[in-house]
Amino acid sequence: MTKRNHLLVFILILGAFGIINTEMGVIGILPYIADHFHVSVSKAGLLVSLFALVVAVSGPTMPLLFSGINRKKAMLLVLGIFVLFNIVSIFTSSFAIAIIARVIPAIFHPIYFSAAFTMAASSVGREEAPKAVSKVFIGVSAGMVLGVPIASYLAGTISFEISMAFFAVVNAIVFIATLIFFPSMPVKERLSYGAQLSVLKKPITWLSIVAVLLLNSAIFGVYSYLAEFLKTVTQISGKSISLMLVIFGGANIIGNIAAGRLLTKDAIKSVVSFPFALGAVYILLFLLGQFTWPMAIITLVWGVLAGIGGNINQYWITSAAPEAPDFANGLFLSSVNLGTTIGTAAGGVFISQLGTPYVVLVGLLSLALSLVFIMFRNYLNTPAQQLSR
- pLDDT by residue for the chain (389 residues), tens digit each? 567 777 888 888 888 888 888 887 776 677 788 888 888 766 777 787 788 788 888 888 888 888 778 888 999 999 999 999 999 988 988 999 999 998 999 999 988 888 888 787 777 677 777 777 778 878 877 777 777 777 777 877 888 888 889 889 999 999 999 999 988 887 776 666 677 778 888 999 999 999 999 999 999 888 878 878 888 899 988 778 878 878 888 898 899 888 888 888 888 999 999 999 999 999 999 999 999 999 999 999 999 999 999 889 989 998 888 888 778 888 888 898 888 888 888 888 888 889 889 999 999 999 999 999 999 998 887 654 444 44
- From 282, 291, 256, select the one nearest 17 (Cα to Cα): 256
Q: Please give the pLDDT value at position 387.
A: 41
Q: Contact 109/336 with Cβ under 8 angstroms? A: no
Angle subtended by helix axes 30-37 and 95-122, to nearest 10: 150
- From 320, 251, 350, 330, select the one nearest 64 (Cα to Cα): 330
Domain ranges of the chain: 1-190, 191-389
CA angle 74, 187, 12 (to 5 degrees): 45
Q: Please give the pLDDT value at position 384.
A: 44
Report pTM. 0.79
Q: Please give the pLDDT value at position 270.
A: 93
What is 1-190's CATH number?
1.20.1250.20
- Would you say the CATH fold of 191-389 matches that of 1-190? yes
* Residues 6+ away with beta carbon under 8 Å from 349: none
What is 191-389's CATH number?
1.20.1250.20
* Residues 6+ away with beta carbon under 8 Å from 238: none
DSSP string, 124-174: S-GGGHHHHHHHHHHHHHHHHHHHHHHHHHHHHHT-HHHHHHHHHHHHHHH
Torsion sign, CA atoms 146, 150, 152, 153: positive
Q: Contact 64/330 with Cβ under 8 angstroms? A: yes
Q: How far apart are CA 24 and CA 148, in angstroms?
A: 7
